[in-house]
Amino acid sequence: MLQTASILFVITALGGLLMAVIRFATKHNPPAWLAMVHGLVAASGLTLAIYALCTQPVPSTVLFAVVLFLLAAGGGAVMSLAYKWRERLLPAWLVIVHALIAVIALGVLLLAVFGAG
């Protein structure tokens, strides 16, 4: 289950990278459909990770990764609701903080799932 969640988060990260390139290269927000797919795939990964936490023994660092992913999701929701919906350009600092938290969470999760030990 955590391996599948990890794969979903990697796909999410690739979509996030594409959206960051669009935001910084064109000075426009990425298309709504891409942001929606990004959020849905991330939510799927998060749901699987939380389900694994609740139903099977997992490394303790998975909980830390889930908390970080929840923080990143909060930032994504703010970007969507406070900026994208109002057709305002996403603030660079928020895009960067969202990405940094998500990348750290992904690294922690990947180490917990695939790391040695």
Structure confidence by residue, pLDDT tens digits, 12-68 = 999 999 999 999 999 999 999 999 999 999 999 999 999 999 999 999 999 999 999
Question: Which pLDDT score is estimated for 117?
Answer: 53
Q: Mean per-residue pLDDT for 66-76? A: 97
Question: Token pair of 108, please?
Answer: 């922690």
Question: Which pLDDT score is estimated for 23?
Answer: 96
Pick from 11, 31, 36: which is nearest to 106 by CA?
Answer: 11
Question: Token pair of 98, please?
Answer: 């969202």
Question: Token pair of 46, please?
Answer: 């998060």
Question: Token pair of 100, please?
Answer: 């940094």
N-to-C CA span, the chain? 18
Q: Is residue 75 scored above 80 in pLDDT?
A: yes
Question: Token pair of 74, please?
Answer: 């909060």
Q: Is residue 116 scored above 70 in pLDDT?
A: no
